[in-house]
Structure 1
Amino acid sequence: MIRDARRLEPDYQQKMKEISGEVPEWIVIPPMKGPYGDQIVERKSFQGNSWAISAKADKDKIIRILSMLNYLFTDEEAYPNFAYGIKGIHWDVVDGKIKNKTSELSKEMKEKYLWVDHYRMPRRGDDAEYFSFQNPKTAEAFKNNQQYVGPTLPGNLLTPDPSDTLDADRQRFINESLVKFMTGKEPLSSWDNFLQTLDTKFDMQKYKDSAIKQFKEAGIIK
């Protein structure tokens, strides 16, 4: 086991025992090394939340909404309140560190403050404190897993250029062509024609210019 450390939690262990009559011994093993020395099981990714703003919203309202979202996802001091809940009830500061107290709450208290779940949108998927592990082995497995999580790929930072009217068609052409090359429906001898079509028909240079500009703004390239 390397990824799903949550299966070590008491609730999951109890379900395993009810179904199979026993709890299996979980052995954590590192992933294999790739040809370039990489040893990862996954890469860090961005939050996958989706938002919708009414077309009736005027400019001032849109700015307020976007400001609120920016606050939700970037303010470090606000993060504990949105990720864990109410200070003093769901979490507190102990010895200078945040301690999640959710697991200590009674069923009645959890139901009373169930509404705080609506505000946990920006919590991070690798936040060990948020998960409040109840089994020491889970925390150990989670920590072990994190050392095999690679950085986010630079391409995830790119957003389509609104003025690039060929973006969707270009991406579709690339995906369909790659499938043809991989399945043998298109011979590799046609690769140069593929690249030429991207340049002439789909204005690949416009995409390259946009990507370079965004990478420079993000500090990935100079």
Structure 2
Amino acid sequence: MRKKSVSTLLSLTIAMGVIAAGCSKAENKAEPSASGQTQTTAKSQEADKKYKLSFYNTIGYRLTTPLPAKEQDPIRQMIEKDNNIDLEMTMGGENWKDKLNLLISSNQIPDIVSFPDRASAVKYYDQGLLADLDELLKQFPEIPKAFDASRLEPMKYKGHTIGIPASEGVGGVNGWWVNNTWLQKLNLSVPTNPQELMTVMKAFTFNDPDGNGKNDTYGFVAMLPKEGTLGYSSSGAKGFQQIFWMFGVQPNFVDVKDGKVVVYNTDPKTKEALQFIKDMIDAKVVDPDWVTIDDGLKVDNKMYQGKVGIMIADWRRLEPADTKKMQDTGGSVPDWKQIAPPKGPYGDQILETKPFQQSMVGLSKEALKDAGKAKRAMEFIQYLYTSKEAYPYLAYGIKDKTFTVANGQPKLIDKSTYNEKEVEWRYNYAFVRKANDSVYFDFKNTAVTNANQKINTSYLKDNNINPRIVDNDPMAQDRLKYANEMMLKFVTGKEPLTNWDTYVKTMQDKFKLNDAIAMYTKQLQDDGVLK
């Protein structure tokens, strides 16, 4: 793989729009032999050979934003020049499984495949798509060195390494927020348990905390992801998920208690949490829009509007960009304050789960049919995660457009100075960014933001079980759908909670929950996390 100057390449790209052929560096010289004579070896010929690599990307941060043509994509030009490849990157998006299955059925199997979650990677591995990487990794020891051991361990399945950590998750992102301005006005204290929480939510709803004389505020806001679950979701549901954790449980979550696998969908504590949520809805303290709020942006808008007093939101919401949105949208910037999760009736004080390395990138078995291509693909992956020269461009975008460098230190350029929509596609290369990259996150209100994350990370639950579960039995989807539907009915009153036992029996008899638990137990034993 030839070494290029990233900075020179991108600067020329931005200035000219394309890379002039005459600006590229000279080709590598053939290695001299021990006698000093130049010899052309198969190895050098292989290094000079250009490969076409296809990369199926499900881990970019703007998957619905199409990539520009190569002439307008200096990052792709850099990648291709540095790695001597033609890169064909296909974006996954919301229906990524359907797109991938179509590629497979059309015999257009990508060389490099990424997965947003471990369970999906395991399924495709079992179906024969993914290759074992153990032997290849022996040739690329720098790849595993780029990651913490805790992120590498989940890449193992049945004793084999099936992928490389793709995008590093950040722990404690979402936390409990309370409008302290409203608390002070109504002479209330920060809620520390369910009873106090209900009291504060009612006051925020009915005691005119914003002083406008109108009945237009709510104590709490939640969301309902598109898959229809009140609890644990790959969409990262905010709101009711944290209410369940207050009771020490979580719908659609598999855990181990006293050495045995449990599914919280039928736990008696889940019934208690559902009753509390129903009480919240019946008391009209929950913003009624919760049934149509299906993503985090819509939750954030409720914060900006200033009509909700308690919510679950990102720990960075007091950064200047967000406080400006509060001012512009709601007309003021309330004294929002992050608090510890209220302690539940059984002593549980859980915000969410600790990060588990879900996403991964691997090679298809199809790519391994060409040893040269497989090696080049691994060189490309190594480049993505270890090249210090390329990292700023992959993580931060376009030099002198989205970031600058002063005294060797990169710094993001204020987004208000350029049209971010024009370059949003760059985030689809940013998955390589490190979880602790302060330049990428670009905190302005550093003291508050860091303090918020410190609060959040103090209340994270161990998470080494649920992400390992692969629900591949025939009843899985029907069982999940039934559980989601019933819980919605319970909290909205369409199904009385007095029918809880009937629901549990149906889960066990009709939807074979006990069989699923036996399957989960076997999976965890095979993974070595359960004896």
- Cα drift, residue 155 of structure 1: 2.6
- Cα drift, residue 26 of structure 1: 3.0
Contact in 2 for aligned 1:103/1:132 (Cα 8 Å): no
**One of 152, 169, 173 as aligned partner of 2:478:** 169
CA distance in 2: counterparts of 1:185 and 1:112, whole angstroms: 51
Contact in 2 for aligned 1:33/1:39 (Cα 8 Å): yes
Contact in 2 for aligned 1:43/1:153 (Cα 8 Å): no
Deviation per CA, 1:78-122: give whole Å up to 9, x if none.
Answer: 799387247998599x9xxxx7622479946x8997653221236
Within the alignment, does 1:197 sit opposite 2:529 as a pair?
no
Q: Which residue of 1 aligns with 2:458?
A: 147
Deviation per CA, 1:15-42: give whole Å up to 9, x if none.
Answer: 3344555433333322211233222233
Secondary structure of 2:317's counterpart equals helix
Deviation per CA, 1:25-76: give whole Å up to 9, x if none.
Answer: 3333222112332222333466898x9xxxxxx95149989xx79x97xx86
Instruction: Give unpaired runs (5+ residues) of structure 1.
Output: 52-57
- Cα drift, residue 133 of structure 1: 0.6
Larger proportion of strand: 2
CA distance in 2: counterparts of 1:20 and 1:86, whole angstroms: 32
Within the alignment, does 1:210 sit opposite 2:522 as a pair?
no
Larger proportion of helix: 1
Aligned Cα RMSD in Å? 5.0
Contact in 1 for aligned 2:353/2:462 (Cα 8 Å): yes
Q: Which residue of 2 aligns with 1:134?
A: 444
Q: Number of paired residues?
A: 201
CA distance in 2: counterparts of 1:192 and 1:76, whole angstroms: 47
- Cα drift, residue 215 of structure 1: 1.4
CA distance in 1: counterparts of 2:456 and 2:450, whole angstroms: 10
CA distance in 1: counterparts of 2:487 and 2:397, whole angstroms: 50
Q: Which residue of 2 aligns with 1:116?
A: 426
Within the alignment, does 1:220 sit opposite 2:529 as a pair?
yes
Structure 1 pair 171–106 and aligned structure 2 pair: CA distance change class (3 A): closer
CA distance in 2: counterparts of 1:190 and 1:111, whole angstroms: 51
Q: Which letter does structure 2 place at the counterpart of 1:60?
A: E
Q: Which letter does structure 1 place at the counterpart of 2:509?
A: T
Q: TM-score, normalised by structure 2?
A: 0.29
Q: TM-score, normalised by structure 1?
A: 0.59
Q: Which letter does structure 1 place at the counterpart of 2:454?
A: K
CA distance in 2: counterparts of 1:133 and 1:91, whole angstroms: 16
Q: Which letter does structure 2 place at the counterpart of 1:121?
A: F
CA distance in 1: counterparts of 2:423 and 2:486, whole angstroms: 52
CA distance in 2: counterparts of 1:153 and 1:35, whole angstroms: 25
Secondary structure of 1:24's counterpart equals coil
Percent sequence identity is 27
Contact in 1 for aligned 2:404/2:413 (Cα 8 Å): no
Larger radius of gyration: 2
Within the alignment, does 1:60 sit opposite 2:355 as a pair?
no
- Cα drift, residue 214 of structure 1: 1.8
Secondary structure of 1:27's counterpart equals strand
Secondary structure of 1:101's counterpart equals strand
- Cα drift, residue 157 of structure 1: 2.1
Secondary structure of 1:160's counterpart equals coil
